[in-house]
Amino acid sequence: MRTWLVTGGAGFIGGNFVLDALKDADTRVVNLDKLTYAGNLDTLTGVRNHPAHRFVHGDICDGPLVSSLLRDHDVEAVINFAAESHVDRSIDGPAAFVQTNVVGTLALLEASRDYWKSLPPDQQVRFRFLHVSTDEVYGSLGPSGCFTEATPYAPNSPYSASKAASDHLVRAFHHTWGLPTLTTNCSNNYGPYQFPEKLIPLTIQKALAGEALPVYGDGRNVRDWLYVGDHCAAIRKVLEAGRPGDTWNIGGNSERENIDVVRAICALLDERRPLPDGTRRDARIMFVKDRPGHDRRYAVDAGKIRHELGWVPEHDFAEGLARTVDWYLEHQPWVRRVLDGSYRMQRLGDGAL
């Protein structure tokens, strides 16, 4: 069996990746997560007693802990999802983003490099360090064109700047020491288990409650939406067949203006859970002061991963959004526990979940 160290594996994308990876009988997962506000043990309930899953409550900044996990579990790959990722929070407090996304990635790279160098040649060849990043490192696009892997970095928020720095560190560790790194830059993810501060789950919850629906600026900021299950499948492709030292953009080929996303959610909820007074939820949309430095448009050219590794997204946006709305409707107890913080009352510590 192969063993993967997944960091941030109780978060949104990392949690979905862990649940998917454990469907493979040949894969063991050591899951390291600090359990900040966005890390949720409830996400991992389905693998609580899985013999191939070990959860460790810890920080990627803790180099000795990471080193011991790599060594004790004979890890063949590190998949780094651990990150502070909310732009609004990075504007309010950028230091936490530098600490986790830059300092934490550096500690993880140093421990992985030293471990990799200690392996016998046949195991060194198989080892991989996969770093999960974002398309936001490229900055903002005009009305046309797409980000490619050759697009110069131009981050515009403290969040994207911290991710850009971590990407550069990953590149440097490959070129300086030969560490077999892989980097992926994805577009906006959506789907099950996303913390309800991001646009789609936040809108679902507010619309479900019949509350006002705040939209930044004129609502015409454009994002390329990627269903989280498709993202996880792409990461598996890169991990299995990607060239060390290379990067891949992962996008959903689903550009939408934010206002259209909000309206689509309203329509789905009006169909599934009409409001008692019969009013349309999109009547509650309200435009609010724009976020500082709000990037106008992101769009990803995923041609490289499509042509080189044969990956294409399976879900178009309409289908993926409907699946996401239905998941949140069916998992309101999960949402309530996240919002009231009661999931934090669980016992924390090492051991299988």
- State the catalytic residues: 135-136, 159
Give the other-Cβ count within 10 Å of 42's Cβ.
18
Q: For residue 207, which amino acid is it?
A: A
Task: Write out the two tokens for 240.
Answer: 């299995």
Length of the chain: 353
Which residues lie across from 225 on neighbouring strands? Answer: 188
* 327-332 contacts, C-beta under 8 A, 24 or more apart: 327/191, 327/192, 328/192, 328/201, 328/204, 328/205, 328/208, 329/208, 329/272, 329/273, 331/192
**Cβ-count burial 149-177 (b if 16+ within 10 Å, e if not):** bebeeebbbbbbbbbbbbbebbbebbeee
Contacts of 341 by beta carbon, 8 Å cutoff, 6+ apart: none
The radius of gyration of the chain's CA atoms, rounded to the nearest angstrom, is 20
Question: Rounded to whole angstroms, how far apart are CA atoms 326 and 124?
Answer: 44
